[in-house]
Structure formats: structure tokens, C-alpha cells
Amino acid sequence: ETGVTQTPRHLVMGMTNKKSLKCEQHLGHNAMYWYKQSAKKPLELMFVYSLEERVENNSVPSRFSPECPNSSHLFLHLHTLQPEDSALYLCASSQDWSSGANVLTFGAGSRLTVL
Amino acid sequence: GQNIDQPTEMTATEGAIVQINCTYQTSGFNGLFWYQQHAGEAPTFLSYNVLDGLEEKGRFSSFLSRSKGYSYLLLKELQMKDSASYLCAVRDGDYKLSFGAGTTVTVRA
């Protein structure tokens, strides 16, 4: 596989469930990101990892817990979510911050619905 | 905070030209990006401007004026497959991208 792969593509969960979103990149990039995309709203940066170290935690509620075990994999662990957390969660990766444009490559997203 | 504005929707005819404007007020500036996102798909990179002026890539061009906090994306010879959302984003540091809400372009036959 190439690019950035996210699983599952769709997830429906209750407010008391625990689930995880997975992201894998096959580009040899060193940085990985989680973004939240809600309808008609700008993408919101949630977390940033560089070389498996978290460098940004953008005031995200603790019910979202990221994990980056290596530079190719990123997880978002979800527990006791609220209905307003329903959104498209996008993973992205980039080469590194010293390389000029530092273009993000996005995955297709995981569509989350919280009942 | 960051403020990035772009129109919500635009409609144009196949073969025509459409210009999507983006204005920004950010605490710093380290480049402006345009991404294309088809419904249900990943955003894909279109263009990057860090200096003033016009960057041309085939049917798509992007312009930047840093002094005015302004950019536009120009789509020429529109095709049906260009129907998508177009996202303007500004980088204000090493890695942090702030996005606009996106402009949905509908191309009609």
C-alpha cells in the first residue's frame, strides 16, 4: 500500500464505548497529525507527533488519547465521547519541518458517529 | 487567534474560469497552501506560495500578496471532475497549519 491509510473508514459508537482509530503511512515521513473535520467548519489540529514525540496537544479533551508507537503508525483512542464529537477524523503525515513546504499528505479519514 | 476567510460556495460552467479568494489574519506567516477535497476523500495538495506572486501549475494557478493577507486559487478550463471543496491553509510556524472552512465549487455542464 502507498500513502496514508486510515481504519476504520466508518465507526458508530455509544457514549460509553471505547474504540480506536488507526493511521498508517508508507511514505517514510517523520511527522504525523490528527485533524478533526466537522461540517462547514475549518479543519482543527488536534495532535502532532515528530519522530514519535508529541509536540502539540491543542487543548483537546482527555477523552481523546493519541498514541504514536513508531513513525509509521498513529492511533487515536476514544472513550466516553459526546455526540458533538461526531466528525471526520483525518490523519496526515509530512516529511519533516526543515524541508521547505512541509506538505501534508492526508488519509481519507474515519467518519465517527457518537450516539 | 487565526482567521482565514473564503467563500462558502461557488458555481461555474464547464470550460469556464473560477477564482477562489482567501484572506487571512494570522499571528505568523510561513507559507500558504491550497488543498482539494472531493466528497468522502482525502484532501490533496494543490499549491504552495511563500513569496508574493503567481504560481502556475497546468490549469490551476495560485497567487499570494503577503502585505494584503490575500491569496486566490484560479481554476481554468473547468471540468466536471473539478467539483470539490477547496481549502485554503496558512502555516504560521514550523508545522502548524490553520485552515479556512473551505469553498465548495460546483461545475455545471
**Close Cβ partners of B36 (under 8 Å, ≥ 6 residues apart):** B43, B44, B46, B84, B85, B86, B87
With 80 as the cut, is the pLDDT of residue B34 above it?
A: yes
Cβ pair B96:A56 closer than 8 A: yes
Among B residues 3-22, those touching chain A with beta carbons less than 8 Å apart: 4, 8
For residue A46, give the nearest of A110, A115, A114 by alpha carbon: A110
B4, B38, B50, B94: which to substitute to probe chain A, counting the most A Cβ within 10 Å? B94
Distances in Å between the Cα of A62 and the Cα atoms of A5, A111, B106 are: 25, 20, 39
Phi and psi at residue B14, to the nearest 5°: -50, 135
Q: Sign of the C-alpha dihedral, residues B53, B77, B8, B33?
A: negative
Q: What is the mean pLDDT of residues B74-79?
A: 98
Contact yes or no for A32/A41 (Cβ under 8 A): no
Cell triple for residue B82? Answer: 473539478
Contact yes or no for A89/A110 (Cβ under 8 A): yes
pLDDT value for B95: 82
pLDDT value for B1: 61
Give the SS3 label for residue A102: coil
A56, A102, A105: which to substitute to probe chain B, counting the most B Cβ within 10 Å? A102
Q: What is the mean pLDDT of residues B24-47?
A: 94
| Dist. CA A77–CA A75, nearest whole Å | 6
Give the SS3 label for residue A114: strand
Q: How many CB atoms lie within 10 A of CB B61?
A: 16
> Which range among A28-37, A45-54, B100-109 shows the weakest confidence by mean pLDDT?
A45-54
Look over chain A and give the mean of its residue pLDDT values, rounded to a whole number: 91
**Close Cβ partners of A31 (under 8 Å, ≥ 6 residues apart):** A48, A49, A50, A51, A93, A94, A95, A96, A97, A102, B95
Give the SS3 label for residue A1: coil
Q: How far is A109 from chain B (nearest CA, A)?
A: 7
CA A53 vs. chain centroid, Å, equals 15
**Chain B CB contacts of A94 below 8 Å:** 95
Q: How far is B26 from chain A (nearest CA, A)?
A: 14
With 60 as the cut, is the pLDDT of residue A1 above it?
A: no
Look over chain B and give the mean of its residue pLDDT values, rounded to a whole number: 95
